[in-house]
Chains A and B, each alone.
Chain A
Amino acid sequence: MSDFNEQTQQADMGRTVSLSARARATLKMATGVTIGAIDLPLFETDTEAIRFACLLGLRYHGDTMPPLADGRDANAQTVINVGTLDTSAPSFISTVKLLAPDTVQKERLTRIVRAHAEWGLAQIQKWIEEAELEGDDLDLAHLVKKGEALLDGAEESV
């Protein structure tokens, strides 16, 4: 492990990530409800859902912090330790730091992760609701495609 990763991880270890009630509800749905033919929930664990949602927000917003919706802080509850997100290679934290180097300099890592995860989960919630409404299948491949489509438009506009 590089000195960079080691330093960042040591600095952020022991800190927890909190999520709003809505994000937690989405998290619960994404990990517990089967949508589609394959009879599998979208994510097997909260960790996987938070990583995906965080990356989705990070990609969408770039090296900037997304705005938090009103009232989300008041109902926020600790969901996961930030170190849990980085238990397997490649390093999730290192990736976040590479993708948002400026923001990392300004904000705490947990806050960056929470902000992007809240945004990403909200997007996932939206897609779930659309799929349920349309009766379409929705699995991770769909999520990736939808995310790529979303990001392509956003990045082109950027």
Chain B
Amino acid sequence: MAKPSLSFQHVTLENIGAYFGEHTVDFPSGHRNMMMIHGNNTGGKTSFINGLKWCLFHQISTSHEGLLDPFTLYNRKALAKGSAHPMSVTIEAEYNGQPIIINRTAKWLYDKTRPRSYEEVATGFTITQFDENGSRQPLSEEDSERFIRRIAPPVLGRFFLFDGELLSEYETLVSRSAGSNPKLGEAISGVLGLPVLEKAAGVLQAAKKEADRKNMTLARGESAEGLVERIKGLESNLERCTEECAEIDDQLDALGDSLAAAEAEYKSYAATEADLNQISVLEKHNADLDAEITRNQTTLAKASSNVWHDLAKPTLERQLDSLVSKSDALHQQSQQTLKRDHLEELRRALLDEEDCPVCLQHLKPDARASVKSMLDALDADREVRQQKTDDYEDLIAKRKEVERLSRAMTPIKTEYEMRTERIKEIVSTKARNLSEIDHIKSEANSISPDVIEGARKKVLSLTREQAALEEHKKTALKHQKDLEIEKDEQLSRMQSTIEHDEEAKQVKRVLSRLAHMESVIDQAKNRQAEAMRKKVEEYTSHAYRAMTHETHHAAVKIEPGTFNMTILDDENNPVTRPSSGATQILALALIISLGQIGRKIGPLVMDTPLGRLDPSHRIKVLSYLPQHTHQVVLLYHGGEIDKATYERVAKMGQIGKEYEISKGSAESSSRLVPKQSAAFSGGDDHE
């Protein structure tokens, strides 16, 4: 796969460093891919490269000061001019063949207040892409920042946008005594893409941690094996329960047969039993009749004591009637006697008085004589009348006695006859009952009641036993059902657990795969690191050999991990004390090789990289660089490249663009002035 590349086309600096106002630089392309920018010290070379760093990385790294405050990059004149002069860098480029515009701007936060620090400026960053129709598609600031970090991470800046002073860092990789530079090692690893594997390893570690956590969670669950054992136990119980139910069914069948036989036997006795019941009813009836007879006999026996009343009462009543007649007659006579007594009193009173006591008339003498004669006759009959009175009283007394006795008499004949008839009826009924009993007995078979009772009890016993067995079966069936339900539940749980286990197995498989992948990645990382190291080693050796004039230096050895470099001579011995020039060549070789092997984020922009090199080395470097980079910008001053060197380079046909940083004595700002090609602009002293 082709490595993504960022090729600059135009860069416009506005109020950056020494540059007041807008200054556009056109970058070379194609075969003439080298751009040379000449400038004297303080002219603006570093401002140019720092402007690019600020635009791409929003930070300005330096070898000595670490990160440079971006506010220092703001052109002082622009700041003095006011808020209408923002600081900005615009890079028109191609990314993977597609046009792209990268722009970073810093404006005054307050239009009327001159900013005194970077916090007082409002920065903006925009990447504009173009669609198929050529329409601008600006990304948001956030997306733009994300996009630029992806294609041009700051760590790569030191390899493509560096000034000559940074070479000293690379020289530490050559000098064993200076020790390793971890940051540089990391940066080299980043350029080589090794962090991708590191990142993959990190992702794998996170995945493995998650899988371990999942595995632990799953391990806390109930194992399927335990559920299987439980289900086996349930199936065993279920089997026993089923067998028990079958046994009960067999017993019920046998019991049913016995019961049917017993019921048939008992049913065969039904007629006999009915006869016996009828006999029992008749016998009970007879017993009741006997009791009634006894009651009647007792009543009759008591009544017999009054049987003489039946003979006495009629004659007493007749006697009473006679006495009543006689007494009534005597009573009538008695009333007449009373009347006579009253008249006698009147008459005696009449004789005693001269006048009548009733009518008060004077009684005549003849009348008086007549009254006296009557009174004498009454006196003569007085004993007879007294006798009659006595007889009457006796008669009344006897009448009362007869009446009392007669009233007390209670003849028994009627009741006796009635009860006697009832007894006769009862006796007759009883006789019929006995006759019927005899008839039933004579018609009935010879089966005894005990046999029938035994058959009945047997049926009852078997029925009870059957009910008990059915109840037992019901319980067993319920137990069976419960077991089946529980088994289903356990099966469901087991299924869930199996799935659970499947998940656990899957997690284990994932863990295993992750471990394997980790191992693979480790191995790949090591292999890649080693491969990249070897490649860098090989390319660096090639570049070093191409750029150095030390003919006995045959190769460069790069230590794994630390990227410490050792120059080997043609006998494969390390060059313990390489010259500073060789060291700088080696650092440049390393940078070039990293640019070729690693990621390409843009042109190789080098600020005064040739300061320590002698002319022959400079020629070699300048001839090698454009051949092994897709764009190279060399910011130099007159001390680095003299006219002869320049002409030799120009003859190579690699220079595509040239600029002169112009800073006149009367101007407070630098300018980037395009030059005609192959026109040396260095100082005369380098001639």
- Chain A residues proximal to chain B, CB less than 8 Å: 2, 4-5, 37-40, 42-45, 47-48, 51-52, 54-56, 59, 88-92, 94-95, 98-99, 139-141, 143-145, 147-148, 151
Contacts and interface: CB of A to CB of B under 8 A. Distances in A.
B316 A99 contact: yes
B405 A147 contact: no
B423 A55 contact: no
Contacts of A145: 413
A151 B315 CA distance: 10
Given A90-B405, A98-B398, A55 B417 contact: no
A117 B475 CA distance: 90
Interface residues of B, number: 36
B301 interface: yes
B431 to A, nearest CB: 10
Contacts of A143: 307
Given A37-B427, A38-B297, A140-B416, A44 B305 contact: yes
B305 A88 contact: yes
Given A56-B311, A141-B420, A144-B311, A95 B316 contact: yes
B408 A52 contact: no
Contacts of B305: 44-45, 47-48, 88
A95 B402 CA distance: 8
B403 to A, nearest CB: 11
A98 B316 contact: yes
B319 interface: yes
Contact of A95 (B297, B304, B405): B405
A90 B402 contact: no
Contacts of B312: 55, 59, 95, 99
Given A99-B315, A144-B310, A2 B401 contact: yes
Q: Give the interface centre of B302, B303, B311 by most chain A CB atoms within 10 Å.
A: B311
8 contacts: A2-B404, A40-B301, A59-B311, A88-B305, A90-B405, A98-B398, A144-B412, A148-B314
Given A4-B397, A55-B311, A98-B402, A140 B408 contact: no
B236 to A, nearest CB: 82
B304 A48 contact: yes
Contacts of B311: 52, 55-56, 59, 144, 147-148, 151
Most interface-central of B310, B404, B427 (chain A CB within 10 A): B310
B300 interface: yes
A92 B308 contact: yes
Contacts of A59: 311-312, 315
Contact of B417 (A48, A141, A151): A141
Contacts of B303: 140
A56 B312 CA distance: 9
B301 A144 contact: no
A60 B314 CA distance: 13
Interface string B405-417: 1001101110011
Contacts of A94: 401, 405
Given A140-B416, A141-B413, A98 B405 contact: yes
A8 to B, nearest CB: 11
Given A88-B305, A90-B408, 4 more contacts: A91-B405, A94-B401, A140-B416, A145-B413
Contacts of A42: 304
B425 to A, nearest CB: 10
A32 to B, nearest CB: 13
B64 to A, nearest CB: 159
Contacts of B427: 37
B648 interface: no
Given A91-B405, A98-B405, A145-B413, A48 B297 contact: no
A149 to B, nearest CB: 12
A144 B307 contact: yes
Interface string B269-299: 0000000000000000000000001001100
Given A38-B297, A145-B413, A52 B307 contact: yes
Contacts of B297: 38-40
A38 B402 contact: no
B686 interface: no
User: Which of A55, A88, A92 has the most chain B CB atoms closer than 10 A to its own CB?
Assistant: A55
Top 6 A-B residue pairs of the complex, sorted by shortest distance between their CB atoms:
A90-B408, A55-B311, A51-B308, A141-B416, A144-B310, A144-B413
A152 B616 CA distance: 199
A88 B304 CA distance: 13
A98 B300 contact: no
A141 B311 CA distance: 11
B472 interface: no
Given A37-B423, A37-B424, A55-B311, A98 B304 contact: no
Contacts of A95: 312, 316, 405
B660 to A, nearest CB: 174
| Best-buried of A2, A4, A47, A52 by chain B (most CB within 10 Å) | A52
Nearest to A147: B311
A59 B300 CA distance: 24
Nearest to A152: B314
